[in-house]
Structure 1
Amino acid sequence: MAPRLRPLLLLALWTLAAPARLGGGEAGDGGWQRRGPGTPSAAVAEERCTVERRADLTYAEFVQHYAFSRPVILQGLTDNSRFRTLCSRERLLASFGNSVVRLSTANTYSYQKVDLPFQDYVEQLLHPQDPTSLGNGAGSGVPFHWHGPGFSEVIYGRKRWFLYPPEETPEFHPNKTTLAWLQDTYPALALSERPLECTIQAGEVLYFPDRWWHATLNLDTSVFISTFLS
């Protein structure tokens, strides 16, 4: 039997997008708060996942059915329990609290950068997203864009994805947030015009092929690793 799929790690990027709360979050969430009262009502999971979920996928099956043709959600791929511990709120602040991080709007035409200590970012800037402005908390996300193929694994929380194949350019404004798109554009789309979509849970890995359009929406805590193959 062919070996189970193991992503080729060329670039790993961990990202936080969660509402912070002193004193920690729910048990098992690493001290990060789950979706709270301030979370925008539009930031909810999809009603029906339209991306296939697979467990025990072999490398041969992956190449034949998904690598060049369509996204897939991989389950049971790795045991990241140790990494989850390292990504707890307490551990990250202890290790990187004084480190300077650079914030940038996840936006095609906006390039303003802000440098600040990681602890200030966690304790002051992680709050629910306003649909009219780019931010860092629940309801935040990256507007539609595309690049080479990649994997995205959620360590804590939930992350909603919207995906279109390369030949189908989505209708969106590059200076508007994913949350604004979900509220204003998505409801008017015919079923045939809607993207593939799904909410990725902690421990799941989403693979997307080369040049696939995708946008993301953080539903609550989002600590995740993105691995790009080109």
Structure 2
Amino acid sequence: SGYLTMTVGSGGSVKLAGLLADGTKVSQSAKLLLFGDYGTLACVPFFRPLYGKKGAVGGLIWIYPDTRAVDTDWYQEWFVRWDKPSDGMDGFEALLAPCGGYYDKIAPLASHYLLSAETNAVPYYVSGLGVLPQPAAQPQWLDVLVSGARLSLPKGVKPMLAGGVYDYSGVNSALAKLSFSSRTGIYKGSFNLYYDYPSGSRLMHKTVKASYVGILTQTRDPLFAGWPEGQGAYRVTDRNPLFNRRIQRAFWLDLYAAP
């Protein structure tokens, strides 16, 4: 789940900026287009060549002018297409459904949020062994502290070795950090992934830092009303020795407005 911001200026000029789930940056200009056949709906064309122009991501981003929510009309099979045509292992194609809305920097934030990350099973490779990350340490429904327009996380409790194993039961044992821009709605931060494995008579404890980024939108299309207010992703590098290149794998990391 990457993110894309659109800032509409005078004369229908649009500035697009964001980050794809694989870490690719987006920065470009476009024009807001109005089609008479679609009533008051307007759209922004989005296209970004990728992978040395061997692939691309693009589509039309439709906006409701009254609510400023985004729609791609799934029923008409309209999506954002992301692909790299190839018969090799790096070839892929994906149809993305933007869940977009409007970030109102004046509107108050919710009184309470929860941060939750999708668990991943990307191994850490050492001496031919693939070690899975400790799922108990990955952020799950972590309380987010709200103070005015500021979001923060509780201070983390570092995992400690006890009884021959590491204890991840402490609050925020991933030592997750969170920063939030009240001007743009973009949130970002990092947390630790832990890999425990034996080496002779010792238990090794490997720490890998994962970065994440996402965006908060209070106003969304009713189709996405049940989705989290903040949607983003974190990336983990897959260093599988069977591959001749490192692969960036992305996983959800979202902000939920608590009831």
TM-score scaled by structure 2? 0.27
Q: Which has the larger radius of gyration?
A: 2
Structure richer in helix, relative to its length: 1
Q: Which has the higher strand share?
A: 2
TM-score by length of 1: 0.29
